[in-house]
Amino acid sequence: MGSRLDQVLERIRAGLDGLPEDTVRRVLDYYQEYIAEAIEAGRSEDEILLRLGDPGEIVEEIRAEASLAPEKTPADMPGPGLGGPSPTGTTEKTGDRCGRIYSGARAHAGKILLALGVSPFYLLGIGFYIIAAGGLLSALTAVGLTVAGILEIAPGYTWEKISMAGIGIFAAGCLAITGLLLWVGAAGITSFAHGLWRRDLPRGLERDREIAGRKRGNGEIKKKLVVLATIALLGLGVALPTGLPLRYFLIWNSVKPAFEVYTQTYNAADIREIEVKTLNSMIIAEVGARPGGNEIRIVYEEPDWMRGKFTVSGNRLIFSEESRGRLPFLDFVARHEGMTSVKIEVPPGYRARAMTLASKGGHITIALPAGDIKARTLTGNIRFDGCGSPFALRAVVKNGKIITGGRPLAGGSYTAGTGGEHTVELESNGGTVTIE
């Protein structure tokens, strides 16, 4: 069915070869529409063929009409000279050649566009789909492992968990929508490029079917978009009422998170050794402001997802900071934990037998008379402002730099003073060590 009708169209197409493309397309569009309507009306192929008449006649008619068209060319064109070539003929030839070059260039442009434009779109689209699917898979795995009792999730934090699940659903929906849109973009470029490329190839009823298929496809894409948008909004609807997304947003944007301040005071005479360990809070060791006092004060700003522990064993004071079991998703909050601090204030003239200050990510600031001090941090900076009795100083950095007297040193290590009664050791993996 349709093949003989296609043949008629093909014969018209072939017969009109060389005429302006627009003319040809309009003729074909007209006959295609007629055929499609007649088929829809239940006409048989024979009936339609009879009604269409002889394709040769159509072609002749159109050609005859087209040959009248050059009347429209500017009137000031020189008329045909005696025996000379007709200017109309010359114009047509040039037009033909131009047309061929133009359509060739267009076809190439189409191919190049296909190659350059489409693949990144498809790849990105596929990539986003994979990310969305991977996220969903890992979420399901996490849930499964938790249900099976293999994975333990910190107790409590109910709202955080609900909120994170909502944000996860929202993110998955957004990723999937992005993937879908990229896919649609790729399909659009494909059909556009394809159109440029194939415009000069014969067409038949197939084109109608192609358009119909595309229309159907658009409807499906719309449906998919609605489903994905609903999923994303559902996730947002779950997450937003918990109020946590707003909080994360504030934390993320460097608004100092809520914290409690704890202060512990010890008699300096009882404490000979001090050991402070934090995760990401800053450590500040300095001489207390009150002269003549004889107490060691530790002031800790405790963010609500951390816990500070003060212990004294013998004459050793230990402060350590630990996580309250924050959900892994919230790790990014850790980057802002450095905004809180633990401050150790010692009385003037106090010198610990040993002082150890260690932080994973926080900065360490020491403004004390030199003593036996060890400071170590992984990613934080260390600032040492010591004075007083002679001491030996050793500073080591791995990926950071050392600054003394305001100038950066070339090497990764620095030693100063040899003898002395005390040793100061400063070590940072990735931060800067500054010695005043």
The CA distance from 203 to 377, in Å, is: 73
Least CB distance from residue 13 to another protein, whole Å? 15
Count CB atoms within 10 A of the CB of residue 50. Answer: 10
CA dist 361 → 197, 274, 321 (Å): 58, 20, 12
Question: Per CB under 8 A, does 30 bind another protein?
Answer: yes
Question: Per CB under 8 A, does 33 bind another protein?
Answer: yes
Nearer to another protein, 51 or 100 (CB): 51
Question: Per CB under 8 A, does 52 bind another protein?
Answer: yes
The CA distance from 301 to 257, in Å, is: 10
Question: Per CB under 8 A, does 47 bind another protein?
Answer: no
Question: Per CB under 8 A, does 31 bind another protein?
Answer: yes
Question: Per CB under 8 A, does 221 bind another protein?
Answer: no
Helices H / strands E in the chain, number of each? 9, 17
- Binding residues with another protein: total (CB under 8 A): 27
Contacts of 366 (CB under 8 A, 6+ apart): 285, 286, 357, 373, 375, 382, 383, 384, 385, 386
The residue assigned the tokens 């905004």 is 339
Q: Characterize the bridge pairing of strands 422-428 and 373-377.
A: parallel
Interacting residue with another protein among 4, 7, 14, 53 (CB under 8 A): 53
Least CB distance from residue 75 to another protein, whole Å? 19
Contacting range for another protein; rule: CB under 8 A; set: 30-38, 165-173, 189-197, 237-245:
30-38
Contacting range for another protein; rule: CB under 8 A; set: 28-36, 140-148, 244-252, 387-395:
28-36
Three-class secondary structure assignment of 64-111? HHHHHHHHHCCCCCCCCCCCCCCHHHHHHHHHHHHHHHHHHHHHHHHH
Interacting residue with another protein among 17, 81, 215, 407 (CB under 8 A): 215
Q: What's at 118, amino acid-wise? A: V
Maximum distance among all Cα pairs of the chain, rounded to whole angstroms: 126
Least CB distance from residue 228 to another protein, whole Å? 24
Contacts of 374 (CB under 8 A, 6+ apart): 354, 355, 356, 357, 358, 424, 425, 427
Nearer to another protein, 20 or 89 (CB): 20
Interacting residue with another protein among 4, 44, 47, 54 (CB under 8 A): 54
Nearer to another protein, 203 or 383 (CB): 203
Least CB distance from residue 2 to another protein, whole Å? 14
The CA distance from 170 to 173, in Å, is: 5
- Dihedral-angle region of residue 69 (phi above 0 means left; psi in -120 to 50 means alpha; beta otherwise): alpha
Question: Per CB under 8 A, does 51 bind another protein?
Answer: yes
Least CB distance from residue 91 to another protein, whole Å? 21
Interacting residue with another protein among 40, 71, 152, 220 (CB under 8 A): 40
Residue 165 CA to chain centroid, in angstroms? 19
Least CB distance from residue 69 to another protein, whole Å? 10
Least CB distance from residue 330 to another protein, whole Å? 51
**Residues 55-84 vs another protein: string with x where CB under 8 A?**
--xx--xx--x-------------------
Nearer to another protein, 210 or 331 (CB): 210
Exposure string for 362-381, b = 16+ CB within 10 A, e = fewer: bbbbbebbbbbbbbbbbbbb
Contacting range for another protein; rule: CB under 8 A; set: 47-55, 223-231, 399-407, 427-435:
47-55
Binding site for another protein (CB under 8 A): 26-27, 29-31, 33-34, 36-38, 40-41, 51-54, 57-58, 61-62, 65, 208, 211-213, 215-216
